[in-house]
Structure 1
Amino acid sequence: MTTLSDPPRESFQLSMLLNDTRYRSYTFQFIALIALIAFFGYLGSNLVQNLRDAGLNISYGFLGEPSNYDINQTLIEYDSRSSHWRASVVGVLNTLLVAFLACVTATVIGVIAGVLRLSNNWLVRKLMAVYVEAFRNVPVLIWIIIIFTIMTAVLPAPRDFRGDDPAASMLFDAFAFTNRGVYIPKPVFETGGVAVVLVFLLSVVGVFYYRRYATKLLYDTGKLLPMGWPSLAILILPSLVFYVLLGRPIGLEYPELKGFNFGGGINIRGSLIALWFALAIYTGAFIAENVRAGIQSVSKGQTEAAASLGLRPGRIMNLVILPQALRVIIPPLISQYLNITKNSSLAIAVGYMDITGTLGGITLNQTGRAIEAVLLLMLFYLVISLSISALMNVYNNAMKLKER
């Protein structure tokens, strides 16, 4: 609604796109966007023209052809008659597996080492300092090779388990540590087994919500609920009850020595273990420094105030220090997770067939489709990296200080 005292509205003119500060920035951004699109369009057309002149064309038809090579560790059904596409999927799953395991393990190691770096115990503090400096200053590829060499040279061969050598004996008659990998029991699901797994997953969610409720109750009312045994009870008891009521629908298939190798169970190959632990221990050293920096960013007065209220050191760390330190820890932690995912491409050094070893290695060499294979590799790592960043940024926004 306008009044007689209001100045007349100025009609829009094209000259305002450059002269009016309200529109000038949008004009320059639009021009820059058009120039960028034209530049990439030129590069694309130039690439297509050069490929055409060389008698080449970009085609992904090779993904449907038989791969004609075996993969030593797979999470899905695969053989040499499977297509290159299925081999690529196997490589993707292997990459995601080692990246997930390494991220979880590196986080645990990094948090523990970062906290112990600030311990009052001189010996513990110096040991953690040696760990951090030793691992983060040596290339991760060297650690991968060292761990893999130790596993293949020190651990006994499967045939040695027939003798009386105490070093070549199964742990609890269920775990066998050999130079071909580690053999562990394999779960066997019968009717109702999936229900027990679902109950366990719901129990994990229940533990999370209980601890969140207990923390909120402490902040709101000062009432301190126990954390340890209730969390353990919520995690174990429901699954145990369902497991018994459904007639124990989950069994175990133990590895057994058959001939010169073990049969049954699950074989975790040495290449996976070497890559997993090398990435975890190496990246854990960087995460430890992030955790130490986050803890030291919290004012010492916070610790003294919490101690004056009678809180134990463990409670002070969990309820006062770490929640505030997370605002400093999470942003660099995202970069460490991305580094783990990208460093997993070093798997080919120990024969672990990830996406770089399948699509970017054997498939590329067999088909000669270097451009197509590299573009797919770039797309995969880009999608995974952006997904990790998006999920961690959601968590980071949830942990940020909420200002009024």
Structure 2
Amino acid sequence: MYMDKNGDLATGYDILNVILLPDGTRNYEVVGHYNPHAPPGQDFVIDEKVIIWESYFTQKPPQFRCNPSCHPGYRKLPKEGKPICCYDCIPCAEGEISNQTDMDTCITCPDDEWPNQKRDACIPKVVTFLSFEEPLGIALTSISMFFFLITAVILGIFIHHRDTPIVRANNQYLSYILLISLMLCFLCSLIFIGHPQEVNCILRQTTFGITFSITLSSILAKTITVVMAFQATKPGSNLRKWMGSRVSVSIVLCFSLLQTVLCLAWLFTAPPFPHLNMKSLTGTILIECNEGSIVAFYCVLCYLGFMAGISFSVAFLARNLPDSFNEAKYITFSMLVFCSVWISFIPTYLSTKGKYMVAVEIFAILASSGGILSCIFLPKCYIILLRPERNNRKELRKL
């Protein structure tokens, strides 16, 4: 035998069958050979048909292991303190397969594949995302369109009755801006549904952040208008000159512009992008939008929370002011709903994965927008449509 410096055979050798003849002599027959330089599969060759076994063997060829073969899907685990031919058969680990008998190690499947139930072959992983065709996507789309249409109808009612006291109370133009921004909020939830691509990944959070900032800044402007209107009625007050619509619109533009700058900085530094998540769920590829910068994402949410907190605080302090139609009280209720939804959103969002994480955010958008719409505008619509006799200055002061 000739071995190299690593202790491996440098040349091939023949495999001999020792035959004991009746006269006590031995004969050697070549039944195969081993060539380390041959291509894989041809390095070890043996012809089992020409092997002559001893007559006293009960099994020909004799059993060369302590236990039956390990089937595909299993691998050999040598028994401690036993000969090498004695081993246990254990299933392949998660994400691995064995497609031959008596394999020493299992094979790891590629990232986009997963073992079948028998773990003897790799099969493609299931690709999943929140689509418009599945029941969850259909339900969320239907709810979003329903609220959009309801908001559009309320906007039409307010425009049609724009000269009535209940619409003109507390700046009717702010009501128009608020209703239009709510319509955009309901529509922006649709961007979260469907196959994630670069465009809708970029538009998802930024559109949501900007439209909600317009909504909350409009509510904040409404709240400030309530306080200023009460203070302006006091003798000698200089706030009358600040009661025009320019101040309210300036508040909306200022707070919305800050959120827009924040979103633009997010897009220019670390924009969201589509991502194939192969690790979160077993046997599943999650097509999702990576937020790019998780810090920027939570900064957008915190800014919305900051505006909601200011609006809630001011409206709560002004809830008992003798304002027409008591606008501050309804703003307080709407902000209470808004804050409750988004405070519960964060732990729920972090504890879900895949399309259900997207569904949680859509639900938060719809629930908070619907809460604002219901608390602020439904009481007014009730009086406009069902109690028109109360839609006058004298009756509104009693509310």
Same fold (TM over 0.5): no
Larger Rg: 2
| TM score, norm. by length of structure 2 | 0.24
Structure with greater contact order relative to length (CA < 8 Å, sep ≥ 6): 1
